């Protein structure tokens, strides 16, 4: 059966608020106390497994939750140490902290190898990819090869107070990059790139935030188009997609995030529907297993 790679960016409410231009408050732990258990339950009911991209400094306060991700057959991966914004322009010392030390910390917490990295806000460049390879990761999942990437970057800049969360990548960098998982020679070794899911040819992005932004029929049409890819497809959630502002008593400023105006029951139903659609024709797996399959392909071809 063909594969669908599922992932969850476990961004805290605090990190989202910083992205919206507020001074970053302390983390309330809701992503680990509430969102991850709900996601684990939903995925298990649909026989789906996922990659959870964790912010190291926040994960460190919730070791039991990190181990639960591993114990239930999912993958722990790095979403940096602190979710610093902007990300790709960090100096070498800070990059070392965010990339290498987050991997070391998460491996200790999960008692498992950490293979994957995703940069905050998909803010990546060739130098960052080289650092990710040098730190020992097998794959990166930061590429956003979509015609909507320039709009995303403008949005990040516009919603940031004083522009401090603006990505350091050029406006059009990566827009026309490969849309399929592929190997990249970084100069510090080869690494796999597993891009954000897009439609064939049109490069329209396919991830869960758009379920709250686009009209339902439009999103479902894009999703169906994205699933026509012959190779693996990917689908991405954020932790807040499994939380309700009112029901969970979250900081009311998070109401501006897409989907936060919906009742929690409706959000969970939408999440379930999207994963169920993937699972109808594909085996839903962590991103690491897409890489495993790609690496096994030459062996199968030679056999």
Least confident of 52-56, 171-175, 237-241: 171-175
Q: What is the pLDDT of residue 150?
A: 60
On the CB side of 133, how many CA atoms lie within 13 Å of its CA? Answer: 18
Q: Answer yes or no: is pLDDT of 79 > 60.
A: yes
How many folded domains does the chain comprise? 1
CATH code, domain carrying 270 = 3.20.20.370
Which residues partner with 77 through β-bridges? 53
pLDDT on residue 165: 47
Q: Which pLDDT value is given to residue 125?
A: 82
Distance, CA of 40 to chain centre: 16
Tokens of 175: 């827009």
Give the model's confidence band at 301: pLDDT under 50 very low, under 70 low, under 90 confident, else very high: very low
pLDDT in tens, 122-166: 877 888 899 999 999 999 999 988 776 666 655 655 555 444 444
Give me the torsion for CA of 255, 256, 262, 267, rounded to 10°.
-100
Lowest average pLDDT, out of 120-129, 200-209, 251-260, 271-280, goes to 120-129
What is the pLDDT averaged over residues 27-53?
97
Residue indicated by tokens 């890489």: 291
- Count how many Cα atoms sit within 13 Å of the Cα of residue 30 in the half-sphere of its side chain: 23
Domain around 121: 3-302
The CA–CA distances, whole Å, from 7 to 42, 158, 263 equal 13, 27, 23
């Amino acid at each position: 059966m063909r594969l669908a790679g599922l992932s969850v960016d476990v961004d805290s409410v605090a990190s989202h608020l910083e992205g919206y231009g507020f001074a970053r408050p302390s983390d309330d732990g809701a992503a680990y106390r509430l969102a991850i258990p709900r996601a684990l339950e939903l995925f298990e009911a649909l026989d789906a497994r996922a990659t959870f991209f964790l912010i190291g400094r926040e994960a460190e306060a919730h070791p039991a939750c990190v181990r639960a991700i591993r114990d239930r057959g999912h993958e722990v991966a790095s979403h940096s140490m602190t979710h610093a914004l902007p990300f790709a322009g960090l100096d070498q010392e800070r990059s070392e902290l965010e990339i290498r030390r987050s991997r070391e910390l998460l491996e200790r917490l999960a008692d498992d190898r950490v293979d994957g990295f995703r940069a905050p806000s998909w803010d990546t460049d060739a130098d960052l990819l080289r650092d990710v390879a040098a730190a020992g990761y097998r794959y990166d999942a930061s590429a956003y090869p979509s015609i909507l990437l320039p709009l995303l970057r403008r949005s990040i800049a516009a919603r940031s107070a004083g522009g401090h969360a603006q990505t350091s990548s050029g406006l059009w960098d990566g827009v026309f990059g490969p849309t399929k998982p592929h190997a990249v020679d970084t100069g510090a070794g080869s690494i796999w790139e597993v891009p954000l899911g897009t439609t064939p040819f049109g490069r329209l992005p396919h991830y869960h935030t758009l379920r709250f932004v686009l009209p339902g029929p439009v999103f479902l049409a894009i999703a169906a188009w994205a699933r026509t890819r012959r190779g693996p497809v990917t689908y991405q959630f954020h932790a807040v997609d499994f939380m309700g502002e009112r029901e969970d008593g979250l900081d009311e400023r998070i109401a501006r995030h897409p989907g936060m105006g919906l009742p929690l029951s409706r959000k969970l139903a939408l999440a379930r529907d999207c994963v169920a659609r993937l699972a109808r024709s594909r085996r839903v797996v962590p991103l690491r297993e897409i890489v495993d399959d790609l690496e096994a392909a030459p062996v199968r071809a030679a056999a």
